[in-house]
Amino acid sequence: MKIKLHVWRQKSRTDKGSMESYDLDNVLPDMSFLEMMDCLNEKLTADGEIPVAFDHDCREGVCGMCSMVINGEAHGPKAETTTCQLYMRHFADGAEIYIEPWRASAFPVMKDLVVDRSAFDRIIQAGGFISNHSGPKPEPNSIPIDPQVAETSLDAATCIGCGACVAACPNGSAMLFTAAKASHLGLLPQGQTERYSRSQTMVNQMEAEGFGSCRNYAECEAQCPKGISIAFIGQLNSDFLKASLVEPVDRRGKMESQ
Amino acid sequence: MLTLDSKIPSGPIKDAWTKHKNDLRLVGPKNRPKYKVIVIGSGLAGASATASMAAMGYQVECFCFQDSPRRAHSIAAQGGINASKNYRNDGDSTWRLFYDTQKGGDYRAREQNVYRLAELSTSIIDQAVAQGVPFAREYGGKLANRSFGGVLVERTFYCRGETGQQLLLGAYSALEEQIAAKQAKMHTRTEMLDLVVVDGKAQGVVVRNLETGEISSHAADAVVLASGGYGNVFYLSTNAKGCNVTANFRAYRRGAGFANPCFTQIHPTSIPASGDYQSKLTLMSESLRNDGRIWVPRDPDEKRTPSDIPEAERYYYLEERYPRFGNLVPRDVAARNAKDVCDNGLGVGPTGYGVYLDFAAAIADKGVDAVKSKYANLFEMYERITDDDPTKTPMRIYPAVHYTMGGLWVDYNLMTNIPGLYSIGESNFADHGANRLGASSLMQCLADGYFIIPVTIGDFLSRHEPGQYSTENEELKQAEAAAKDQINRLLSVNGSRTTQSFHQELGKIMWEHCGISRSEESLKEGLRKIPALREEFWNNLKLPGAANELNQSLEKAGRMVDFFDFGELMCRDALLRDESCGCHLREEHQTPEGEAKRDDNNFSFVSVFEYKGEGKEPELNKEKLSFEALPLADRNYKT
């Protein structure tokens, strides 16, 4: 196959950046998209040019590192598929492919296709956990969990934190990511104690990071490589509303003052 | 000569860990914030250790090369995690999990460590459930179990095919909680380049910021390496692309003993490489062998599609060679036979390195829907990668490097022979012997991180005044200078070959000479080829970009430097271990069925290598293994 690539090149955070074009021959249909990118980089290196920087690691669709907008869609044209699990057979011979980084003000570009997603970590720090110390814990079977509930919780927990939802959203909103974590924990009995405070602290952090607001475009669900449902956004909104109707409780502050 | 004091507690194995814990010195809660600990790696071991120690009050700083600690390769573990809960009432116990693990490791592990692992297994499940890990449940809401290879009980806990992901997210959320509480600090996109040893004690690390290229050093009271395995020395493996041996190997160069480097687990059923551009391999669950028949065409020049090849012209080599076990021979035997038929020109697929795994017979017998429903997610994954439907045409499979049992030598406290340097998870050698049982790696990482290191590190720290480190000393500056010097050397070679092409060639050498089966002759040849390739690397490397920027080519080249030296060490260990055991098959030592034949009289020891300087042969040290609780027996999975 012959492919014409248009790739976003940007030297650093402060560089303006631009699209550059490259022709690539000898692309094989059984190559993964990232193996095609490897070939491009080998060629650029051989030609004395600087290879394209892109994030990738497990190449099995689960680490969430790879992050390319391909022909305008986060992770490319195939539904429920990360960039690393996309194959060149999904493109026609002679195709022109446009490759861009995630575009969102909360995800600044560091170089070429590499973006800074540390905002996601800070949203988790704001409450995406069940407070715990390591050590002896109650016998798990003493708290039975309806398998249906456990499955729904896992549907949410399966989020790989790649950021495709943000890249897909016209508003650059991180609601699907935030809702997936809040729902994963909020559905389980262990997560009840902090359920409502969590919905507030995580949403507040999300807004502080500069992510946009959710307007139910549902592009996030359509482009999510793990097919996470926007129904979880509904659940987060409901928890957030309930939490805002009662006096906020500062558990941590009280604990620490004791 | 290294001093290898394993610090194994005396007395009966069942009480060893409890007794040991009671004997350890502790650091009081008021003093813990005075101590600083560095953790390298944020996978199951690193994240759980950081979160646990931070929650106790220590200042902990964790480093990972990914953009978030949640991305470490533990996330890709599919199958599950073992724990001897005995929920199925099928006779499971701590003892039985200990027995299965020790037998699976072919008696090349330290039995007290293995027993402790089995003992802690149940607490890991409790801890994970408390964090909100959504394990599979039965109708009544109790935890579900499934069985896994090599055992006779159902003790594996799972979350669909993403158990590693969910357990890592549990440890990651605990870590983020501690970061929010300002107890822990995370350095992402930061790679360890060297260990700093002052007066014989580990006192810090030299790291590179992968965005700015800045080299800096961080000092601490203790350093914990949780940097994973070294399967990527083979270039193609099921490891993530970034997995590397640098942190461990640099510690080795600074004096830490490297134990059993040749023990590499090779999984028999992965999707084969489809061409030279292949960048990594993807595992397919071994359970497929229950319903698939493995074959290759008898004619090396066969060009027909598999369904057109008549029965008589198919070579069901496992069924013919092993009539009793057929397609269900043990992992290592299946892997070796696949390589054998392919080396003889009978392999299938574009590269000739693949064999068919055919479900036609099972489909004819049980119906397509029954077979499909049993393996739905695997068939879907296979089709996604290869574009072939396994219900219509046979799958192609080939063995792949998966896990490495070797690692830094550690004592019972998980401390290396360098005081203050610990190694946990896949990066140490401690628990899996010469082969690892399925669903045991997650268990080991979390036992180390949640329950062992938080206690044992206190024993070391309590014997030292806190804060006895400095970022100003000579050793630190020298290590920083050496790291910068290596980068400059790499950038100034100005040759014509890329790191990837060197890595691919080294991978082929390792696979050929130190892979599925090894022999004296081939290992010696490997030991001749590696230095020649390394020399070419240093004379002909083409490395674009600069040192002070985000430069992924430079990251790869730096890791490559250590893969060369480490590959040599692996071959050396495989050559010295003149027996077969577990995954390590020396062609000179096998049973008539092609299984590993141990030599307990001469080789029931841990090989621990000591670095002797650039270009010098490392020295072999031995830790003699004793088998008191569980006497040596043949590793027999047949009767």
CATH architecture, domain defined by B266-401: Alpha-Beta Complex (3.90)
Residue A188 and residue B350: Cβ atoms within 8 Å?
A: no
Using CB atoms, which residue from A29, A130, A135 is nearest to B132? A130
With beta carbons under 8 A apart, name residues in chain B contacting A114: 550
Task: Scan for tokens 């005396």, then name that residue.
Answer: B10
In order of B150, B263, B432, B561, the CA distances from B103 in angstroms are 9, 15, 10, 36
Q: Above 80 in pLDDT, residue A10? A: yes
B258-259 and B605-610 beta bridge pairing: antiparallel
| Distance, CA of A245 to CA of A240 (rounded, Å) | 9
Q: Which residue has the tokens 């406290």?
A: B413
Helix, coil or strand: residue A212: strand
CA B535, CA B539: separation in Å to the nearest integer?
6
Q: Structure pTM?
A: 0.96
Which range among A217-226, B264-273, B328-337, B581-590 shows the weakest confidence by mean pLDDT?
B328-337
Contact assignment for A63 to B76 by CB distance below 8 Å:
yes
Instruction: Read off the amino acid at residue B548.
Output: N
Whole-number pLDDT of residue A22: 98
Select from A42, A47, A60 the residue whose CB has the most chain B CBs within 10 Å, as the one to mutate to test that interface. Answer: A60
Nearest CB neighbour to A137, from listed B130, B241, B553: B130
Q: Are residues A105 and A126 in the same domain?
A: no
One domain, residues A44 and A165: no
Query: Cβ A64–B51 below 8 Å, yes or no?
Result: no
Token pair, residue B465, equals 């005044």
How many Å lie between the alpha carbon of A198 and the closest alpha carbon of chain B?
12
Q: Are residues A250 and A123 in the same domain?
A: yes
Both structure tokens of A28: 């094989």
- Name the residue in chain B with its Cα closest to that of A56: B241
β-bridge partners, B267? B400
Residues of A in contact with B387 (CB under 8 A): 29-30, 87, 89
Tell me the C-alpha to C-alpha distance, in Å, between residue B429 and each of B226, B229, B582. 12, 10, 14
Give the pLDDT confidence of B240-275 residue by residue, as tens digits: 999 999 999 999 999 999 999 999 999 999 999 999
Q: How confident is the model at residue B638 (pLDDT cuts 50, 70, 90)?
A: low
User: Once rounded to an integer, what is the mean pLDDT over residues B364-389?
Assistant: 89
Q: Over the Cα atoms of chain B, what is R_g?
A: 24
Same domain, yes or no, for A160 and A70? no
Number of domains in chain A: 2
* Cα end-to-end distance, chain B, whole Å: 43
Return the amino acid letter for A128. Answer: G
Residue numbers in B near A88 (CB within 8 A): none
* Dihedral, A38, A40, A42, A43 alpha carbons, nearest 10: 170
CATH match for B33-263+405-461 among 3.40.1010.10, 1.10.10.10, 3.20.20.70, 3.50.50.60 = 3.50.50.60
Question: Which of B519, B493, B617 shows the shortest CA–CA distance to B574?
Answer: B519
Q: How many CA atoms lie within 13 A of B191 on its CB side?
A: 24
Q: Measure in Å the smallest separation between the Cα of B425 and chain A Cα atoms.
A: 17
pLDDT mean over A217-226: 98
A99/A150 same-domain check? no
Which band of pLDDT confidence, cut at 50, 70 and 90, is reported for residue B639?
low
**Cα–Cα distance for residue pair B563/B534, rounded to 1 Å:** 10
Amino acid at B29: P
pLDDT at A251: 67
Nearest by CB to A120, which of B56, B68, B282? B68
- pLDDT(B630) > 90: yes
- For residue B376, give the nearest of B158, B150, B160, B577 by alpha carbon: B160
Closest CA relative to residue B563, chosen from B237, B232, B281, B251? B232
Structure tokens at A245: 């109707």
A126 and A107 part of one domain: no
Query: Which residue in the set A55, A62, A190 is minimally distant from B165, CB to CB?
Result: A62
Question: What is the chain A residue with the closest CA to B129?
Answer: A140
Number of A/B CB contacts below 8 angstroms equals 219
B412 Cβ neighbours under 8 A, 6+ residues apart: B6, B7, B8, B9, B20, B110, B112, B113, B456
Q: Residue B135: its chain A contacts at CB < 8 A?
A: 140, 150
Residue A70 forms part of a structural domain? yes
| Amino acid identity, position B628 | E
Poorest-confidence range of B285-294, B440-449, B534-543?
B285-294
- A49, A87, A128: residue with CB nearest B173: A128
Domain ranges of chain B: 33-263+405-461, 266-401, 474-598
What percent of chain B has pLDDT above 70? 99
Residues of B in contact with A150 (CB under 8 A): 134-137
Q: How far apart are CA A112 and CA B119, in angstroms?
A: 49
| Same domain, yes or no: A193 and A213 | yes
Give yes or no for residue A256 having a pLDDT over 60. Answer: yes
Spatial contact of B55 and B183, defined as CB atoms under 8 Å apart: yes
Q: What pLDDT score does A148 carry?
A: 96
Q: Do A121 and B125 touch (CB under 8 A)?
A: no
Contacts of B180 (CB under 8 A, 6+ apart): A125, A126
How much is the average pLDDT of A219-247?
Answer: 95
Q: Are residues A166 and A211 in the same domain?
A: yes
Tens digits of residue pLDDT in A31-83:
999 999 999 999 999 999 999 999 999 999 999 999 999 999 999 999 999 99
Mutate to test the interface with B, among A58, A148, A226 (most CBs of B within 10 A): A58
**In a shared domain, residues A62 and A20:** yes
Chain B positions touching A161 (Cβ under 8 A) are 68, 70-71
User: What pLDDT sits at residue B637?
Assistant: 63
Cβ neighbors of B231 (< 8 A, separation 6 or more) are B237, B238, B239, B243, B264, B401, B402, B403, B404
CB nearest A134 (choices: B52, B72, B125): B52
Contact B279 A35 (CB under 8 A): yes
Supply the pLDDT for residue B591: 87
Cα–Cα distance, A249 to B7 (Å, whole number)? 49
- Indicate whether A104 and A128 sit together in one domain: no
In a domain, A106, yes or no: yes
| Cα–Cα distance list, B600 to A4, A182, B624 (Å) | 61, 54, 11
Interface-testing mutation among B169, B187, B494, with chain A (most A C-beta atoms within 10 A): B169
Residue A253 has pLDDT above 80, yes or no: no
Report the CATH number that the domain containing residue A63 is assigned in CATH.
Answer: 3.10.20.30
A55 three-state secondary structure: coil
User: Is B497 considered catalytic here?
Assistant: no
Q: Which of B275, B454, B550 sits opposite A134 (nearest CB)?
A: B454
Beta B36-40 vs B59-63: how paired, if at all? parallel
**How many distinct helices (H) and strands (E) make up chain B?**
18, 19
| B39–chain A nearest CA distance, Å | 17
Domain contains A198: yes
DSSP state for residue B518 in the 8-state scheme: B
Active site residue: B331, B436, B598, B635, which one?
B331
Residue A64: list chain B partners with CB under 8 A: 68, 70-71
pLDDT digits (tens, 9 = 90+) for B411-467: 999 999 999 999 999 999 999 999 988 889 999 999 999 999 999 999 999 999 999
Q: Specify the 3-state DSSP secondary structure of A134.
A: coil
Helix/strand/coil percent split, chain A, to 5: 40, 10, 50
Say whether A63 and B75 touch across the interface (CB within 8 A): yes
Over the stretch B121-174, which tens digit does the pLDDT of each residue have? 999 999 999 999 999 999 999 999 988 766 789 999 999 889 999 999 999 999
pLDDT of residue A234: 97
Express each pLDDT in B23-75 by its tens digit: 999 999 999 999 999 999 999 999 999 999 999 999 999 999 999 999 999 99
Q: What is the mean pLDDT of chain A?
A: 96
- List, in order, residues 6 or more apart from B35 with CB less than 8 Å away: B27, B58, B59, B221, B222, B461, B466, B467
Among B433, B575, B494, smallest CA distance to B117 is for: B433
Asked whether residue A138 is assigned to any structural domain, the reply reads no
Please enumerate in sequence order all residues whose Cβ is within 8 A of that of B620, keeping only pairs 6 or more positions apart, or say none. Answer: B576, B607, B608, B609, B610
- Its domain, for residue A235, covers 117-132+145-257
A86 shares its domain with A206: no
- Give how far B193 is from chain A: nearest CA, Å: 19
Q: Which residues pair with B197 in a beta bridge?
A: B202
Q: Do B134 and A184 touch (CB under 8 A)?
A: yes
Q: CA of B557, closest CA in chain A: separation in Å?
A: 13
- 3-state secondary structure (DSSP) of residue A195: helix
**Confidence class of residue B333 from pLDDT cuts 50, 70 and 90?**
confident
Assigned architecture for domain B474-598: Up-down Bundle (1.20)
A137 within some domain: no
Residue A204 is assigned to a structural domain of this protein: yes
Q: Indicate which CATH number applies to the domain containing A233.
A: 1.10.1060.10
Do the Cβ atoms of B567 and B531 come closer than 8 Å?
no
- Claim to verify: residue A168 and residue A65 sit in the same structural domain: no
Cα gap A83→A62, rounded to integer Å: 11
